[in-house]
Amino acid sequence: MHHRCTVITMKLMLCKWICFVLLYTVNSAVTKQVISISKTGVGRNEYVLNHGEVNDSIVWGSFDDQIASTGWSHLEIHGNKTATSHDVAYYAGLLEGTLTAELIDKQYRNTLIGYCSNETDYCGKLSVFLERNLQFMSRTIGQMEDDPFWFQVSLYLDQLDGLRDGYKLSKFPSIPDVGFWYFQITGDLEDLEAALGNGNVKQPAVKSDSCSALIKVLPNNEDLYVGHDTWGEYQAMLRIYKLYDLPYATSASNSESVVGSIQAFSSYPGQLYSGDDFYEISSGLVTLETTNGNYNDELFQYINPHHVLEGIRTMVANRIASNGSEWCSQFSQYNSGTYNNQWMVVDYKQIKPGEELGSDTLWALEQLPDSIHHKDVTDVLKSQGYWASYNIPYFDDIFEKSGFAKLADQFGSFFTHAGSPRAKIFARDQDKITDLKSMIHLMRYNDFKHDPLSACNCTPPYSAENAVCARSDLNDVNGTYPFFFLSHRFHGGIDTKVTSYEMFHNKLGCIAISGPTHQQQPPFQWSTSGYSNIPDGHPDLWQFEPIKISWNL
Ligand SMILES: *[C@@H]1O[C@H](CO)[C@@H](O)[C@H](O)[C@H]1NC(C)=O
Ligand SMILES: *[C@@H]1O[C@H](CO)[C@@H](O)[C@H](O)[C@H]1NC(C)=O
Ligand SMILES: *[C@@H]1O[C@H](CO)[C@@H](O)[C@H](O)[C@H]1NC(C)=O
Ligand SMILES: *[C@@H]1O[C@H](CO)[C@@H](O)[C@H](O)[C@H]1NC(C)=O
Ligand SMILES: *[C@@H]1O[C@H](CO)[C@@H](O)[C@H](O)[C@H]1NC(C)=O
C-alpha cells in the first residue's frame, strides 16, 4: 500500500507524509499552470491573460491538478493591492473560472446537472427566490456601500460574475447562470428544498448528517490542534484546496485592507467559499462548522429572500472579523436561516504554546431561521481539554427549537449532544492524542464492526455512520436500519484537515487527506462499490495519504 514511499524514502523513518510531499513537489512542475491578468483599458472586457506572472498585473495565480495522485488540486489567487477591490474581485473570479473550467464542468455534471429534473414546481419557486434575493442584495449594496458587511457582499457578487465569465471563455459546454448560483448555495439548498418544496422534493431525506470536528488542547497547553472531516456525498469528491490572497478594502470609503484578506480553505470547483467548512485566515482565526440542520417546519416561515445566504455571510465575516466575538456578530446579520450550522471560531492569537489559553480562544455559534446563539466557550475547551462537534446542537435553546429534542424522544440518544455515538467516541478517545499523528488517527477513525459505540438496533447490528469518519457505503444494502442516516448510501467522511499552532503560523498550512477513510477499512473504490459509474474525473480507487498543504506567501 505504501510502495511508493518505500522506494523513495527507504531510509527515512519519518513515514509516509514526507514522501507524499516529495511526490507532490516532483509532479507539480509538470502540471502547474500559472496565469496573470493585466488591464489594457478601464472596461471589464479590456484585459489580457498572460501565461506566467508578469509585472503590472491585477491578479495572478496558479492551478495544479494532483487529483490522480493525492486526491487534491491546488488553486492560488493573488490580487494587486493597488487596484480597486471591485476589479480585484471580478478578475480573481475570472482567473479561477479560466484555470478551473474543466473541473467546474465535471463537478456540475457529477452533482448538479439533474437537480431540477422533474422538480418544476420547487425549482420554479427556487428561481423566484434567488432572483428576489439577488435584487434585494443589489438594492441594499447600492444604499450601503460604506457598510463593511455590504461592501464585502458586493465583492462576492463581483467575483461570481468573474467566475462565470472566466468559465465561458473555456471550451467546455455552457452551464446556465443559475448553475453558478447553485454552486454557491449547495448547503442552503437543503433548507430551501424543505422550505419551498412543501416536503415534496425528491430527496427530502437527504437532510444529511455532515461533518465531524475536533479542537484539541494538548497536555500542558503545548499546542492546539484544529481538525475537520467533511461528510458528504461521494459524487462531490472532486477537490480543490484554495488560497485567496485578495487585499480588499474595508469599505467603499475606507481603503485599509480587511484583516482577513488571505484565506486558505478546502473547497470544490465553482464554489467561492469552502462549504466544508474549514478556513485558515490571515486575521489569526480558523473558522469551521458541522451542520445541525433544522427539523422544525414551523421555522420555515422565517426563510425569505430579504437575507443573505450562508456561504456569502461566511466569507464576509471571515474577511472582516479580527476575533470570535466580531465574527459572530458579522455572521449573524441578515441570517438566511438556511445551512444551519454549529460554527466554531478559533483565535490562534490567543494561544502561546505552554501558556494558559487566553479568553476568546473559542467561540461557538448556532443558527436557526430567526435565531442565532453565540458565546465564548473557551472555558469549556479549557475544562474538557477539547471541543467536539458532530451535527448536534450544543446550546439548549437551539436543541429544543431545531426539533432535535423531539427526534431524541422518538429515536433515542443518537440525537442527543452527550449521548450520540460520536460524542462518546470523542470523549473516550480524545486524551489519547499526543501528537499530530494520533490526532489524524482519531479524525480518520472508523472501526464500526468492532467498536461497541458504533452499534445500533440494526441488522447487521452496527452502522459505519457511527464513527468519526463515516463510511456509509459499507452499510448493508439489504440491512434494516431504524432511520435513514444509518443505512447504506454513497455518503461519509470525504476528507480530513488538521492544523496546529506551527502549521497555522507557517503560512496557513495544514495536513490534508482526500477521500473516505481507509484506516481500519478497505479503501473506497467506485468500480467495486455497486455504484452505476465512475463520476467524471474521479479516481476509481480512493486510497490517498496525508499531504502537507503550503502556500507561496
Ligand atoms: C518586473 O519588474 C522588476 C522590477 O522592476 C524587474 O526586475 C523584472 O524583470 C520585471 N519582470 C517582468 C517579467 O517584466
Ligand atoms: C500592481 O499594480 C501596480 C500598479 O499598476 C504595478 O506597478 C505592479 O507591478 C502590480 N504588481 C504586480 C505584482 O503585478
Ligand atoms: C423524471 O421522471 C421520469 C418519469 O417519471 C423518469 O423516467 C426519469 O428518470 C426522472 N428523471 C430524474 C432525473 O429523476
Ligand atoms: C474584537 O474586535 C472588535 C473589532 O475590532 C473589538 O471592538 C473588540 O474589542 C474585540 N474583542 C475582543 C474580545 O478582543
Ligand atoms: C440484496 O438482496 C437482493 C435481493 O434479495 C440480492 O439480489 C442482492 O444480491 C443482495 N445484495 C447484497 C449486497 O447482499
CATH of the domain at 315: 3.60.60.30
Q: How far is the CA of 25 from the centre of ligand 2 (A)?
A: 28
Whether 165 shows a pLDDT value over 90: the answer reads: yes
**CA-nearest residue, atom 3 of ligand 2:** 56
Write the pLDDT tens digit of every residue in 335-349. 999 999 999 999 999
Beta-carbon contacts of residue 384 (< 8 Å; ≥ 6 apart): none
Cell of 486: 444509518
Query: Ligand 3 atom closest to Cα of 114?
Result: 13
pLDDT band at 208 (very low <50, low <70, confident <90, very high): low
- Give CA–CA dist 534/302, Å, rounded: 40
- Cβ–ligand 2 contact at 143 (below 6 Å): no
Contact 422, 492 (CB under 8 A): no
Closest among 242, 247, 269, 275 to 97, alpha carbons compared: 269
Check pocket membership of 57 for ligand 2, CB cut-off 6 A.
Answer: yes
Half-sphere exposure of 286 (CA within 13 A, CB side): 30
* DSSP helix/strand/coil, 265: strand
In terms of DSSP bridges, do strands 285-291 and 278-281 run parallel, antiparallel, or are they unpaired? antiparallel
In a domain, 74, yes or no: no
Buried b (16+ CB within 10 A) or exposed e, 360-378: bbbbbbbbbbebbbbbbbb
Ligand number, closest to the Cα atom of 529 = 5
Asked if the structure places residue 513 within a domain, the reply is yes
Residue 168 lies in a domain: yes
Note whether residue 278 is domain-resident: yes
323 Cα to the center of ligand 4, angstroms:
6
Cα within 13 Å of Cα(322), Cβ side: 4
- pLDDT digit string, tens, across residues 11-48: 333 334 443 444 444 444 568 999 999 999 999 999 99
How far apart CA 312 and CA 355 sit, in angstroms, is 35
pLDDT of residue 307: 98
pLDDT of residue 49: 96
pLDDT digits 0-9 by tens, 213-268? 999 999 999 999 999 999 999 999 999 999 999 999 999 999 999 999 999 999 99
The cell numbers describing 330, all together, are: 458579522
pLDDT in tens, 377-415: 999 999 999 999 999 999 999 999 999 999 999 989 999
3-class secondary-structure state, position 181: helix
Ligand 2 pocket check for 532: Cβ under 6 Å: no
Q: Nearest ligand to the C-alpha of residue 112?
A: 3
Instruction: Supply the pLDDT for residue 182.
Output: 95
| Strand 371-376 versus strand 47-51 pairing type | unpaired
Please check the confidence at residue 270 and state whether its pLDDT lies above 90: yes
Please indicate, yes or no, if residue 537 is contained in any of the structural domains: yes
Is 143 touching ligand 3 by the criterion CB < 6 Å?
no
Reply yes or no on whether the pLDDT at 169 is more than 80.
yes
User: Does residue 216 lie within any of the structural domains?
Assistant: yes
CA 516 to centroid of ligand 3, rounded, Å = 30
The per-residue pLDDT for 30 is: 61
Q: What is the DSSP annotation of 142-160?
A: HH-TTSHHHHHHHHHHHHH
User: Quick check: helix, strand or coil at residue 202?
Assistant: coil
Range with lowest mean pLDDT among 194-198, 276-280, 467-471: 194-198
Q: What is the pLDDT of residues 477-535, one digit of tens each?
A: 999 999 888 999 999 999 999 999 999 999 999 999 999 999 999 999 999 999 999 99
Distance (Å) from CA 478 to ligand 5 centroid: 6
Q: How confident is the model at residue 199 (pLDDT cuts 50, 70, 90)?
A: low
C-alpha cell of residue 399:
436543541
The three grid cell numbers given for residue 316, joined into one nine-digit string: 464576509
Residue 540 lies in a domain: yes
How much is the mean pLDDT over the chain?
A: 92
Residue 55 Cα to ligand 1 midpoint, Å, equals 6
Q: In this structure, are strands 73-79 and 240-245 parallel, antiparallel, or unpaired?
A: parallel
CA of 473 to the centre of ligand 5 (A): 15
Q: Could you give the number of structural domains in the chain?
A: 1
The verdict on the CB of residue 256 being under 6 Å from ligand 2 is no
- Cβ atoms of 164 and 177 closer than 8 Å: yes
Q: What is the pLDDT at residue 209?
A: 61
Which residues sit opposite 547 in a β-bridge?
A: 512
Probe ligand 4: pick from 259, 281, 323, 374, max atoms within 8 Å of CB? Answer: 323
The alpha carbon of residue 350 and the mean position of all alpha carbons in its chain are separated, in whole angstroms, by: 24
Residues 109, 102, 131, CA angle at the centre, nearest 5°?
55
In this prediction, residue 145 carries a pLDDT of 84
Report d(CA 169, CA 395) in Å as an integer. Answer: 47
Residue with cell 419551498: 196
Structural domain contains residue 28? no
Which residues, 6 or more positions from 81, have their beta carbon under 8 angstroms from its beta carbon?
A: 247, 257
Domain that holds residue 517: 33-65+82-550
